[in-house]
């Protein structure tokens, strides 16, 4: 039994908590991410968000009759990044809406962690294996094609990166060389994924002086720790 929240909206807190027992499933990860947005947004329709993701996946599946992984990835990128134009919101990176999955689906602008979640959800619905990469500073996605994994930067329009290109990107973002380590390319667990979203919001709210919202994100983070 979880304690009642003092700062987080009850509907957000309760939906978030409901998803934690099955968080290893991508659908639960998506619904928990939607629940985060319910703290700040008044018009969230969780079922509609999931339906939008299904419709994107169905559009991709209709175009690929062979089931080829290469063809599916090609159409995944065509639909998400070329036609629908999902990309990073570099102009207004620190807007909280970039961390809210419903808003990212509407505006097609977001930050790496939410754009990668859309990528993973849609990829898995069309039969691909996808995962998050818990790279510091810049979250990434990866999709399996054949016997290897392609690293995807959903913030940069689905650009495919080599491991060395990821390290070089981290060098640039950190402003100093980073030590090359496989840990920088580690798979993100679903609790880690959610925590990245919440900590991003926590930092935004601290910057904006929204102290009660900072506490609300901390309450959701505590739920993740409690579930472990």
Give tens-digit pLDDT for 186-220.
Answer: 999 999 999 999 999 999 999 999 999 999 999 99
165 falls within a domain: yes
Tens-place pLDDT, residues 39-80: 999 999 999 999 999 999 999 999 998 889 999 999 999 999
4 falls within a domain: no
Q: What is the domain count for the chain? A: 1
- Residue 63 has a pLDDT of 95
35 falls within a domain: yes
1 falls within a domain: no
CATH code for the domain in which residue 34 is found = 3.10.620
3 falls within a domain: no
- Residue 203 has a pLDDT of 97
Residue 138 has which token pair?
């810049």
- Residue 181 has a pLDDT of 86
5 falls within a domain: no
- Residue 3 has a pLDDT of 82
d(CA 197, CA 199): 6
Burial class of residue 158, CB neighbours in 10 A (0-12, 13-18, 19+)? buried
Minimal CA–CA distance to 36: which of 153, 202, 225? 202
Mean pLDDT taken over the chain: 96
- pLDDT at residue 109 greater than cutoff 90: yes
57 falls within a domain: yes
Q: Look at the chain and count its residues.
A: 228
Q: What is the domain extent for residue 72?
A: 10-227
């Amino acid at each position: 039994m979880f304690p009642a929240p003092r700062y987080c909206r009850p509907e957000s807190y309760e939906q978030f908590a409901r998803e934690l027992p099955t968080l290893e499933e991508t659908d639960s990860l998506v619904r928990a991410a939607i629940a985060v947005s319910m703290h700040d947004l008044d018009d969230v329709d969780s079922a509609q968000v999931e339906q939008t993701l299904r419709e994107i996946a169905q559009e991709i599946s209709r175009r690929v009759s062979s089931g080829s992984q290469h063809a599916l990835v090609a159409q995944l990128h065509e639909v998400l990044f070329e036609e629908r134009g999902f990309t990073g919101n570099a102009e207004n990176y620190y807007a909280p809406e970039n961390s809210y999955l419903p808003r990212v689906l509407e505006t097609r602008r977001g930050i790496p962690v939410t754009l990668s979640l859309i990528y993973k959800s849609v990829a898995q619905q069309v039969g691909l294996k996808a995962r998050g990469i818990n790279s510091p500073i810049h979250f990434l996605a990866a999709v399996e094609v054949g016997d290897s994994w392609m690293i995807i930067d959903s913030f940069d329009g689905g650009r495919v990166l080599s491991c060395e290109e990821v390290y070089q990107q981290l060098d640039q973002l950190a402003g100093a060389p980073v030590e090359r380590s496989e840990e920088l390319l580690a798979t993100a667990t679903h609790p880690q994924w959610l925590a990245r979203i919440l900590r991003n919001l926590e930092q935004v709210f601290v910057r904006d002086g929204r102290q009660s919202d900072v506490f609300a994100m901390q309450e959701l983070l505590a739920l993740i720790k409690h579930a472990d």
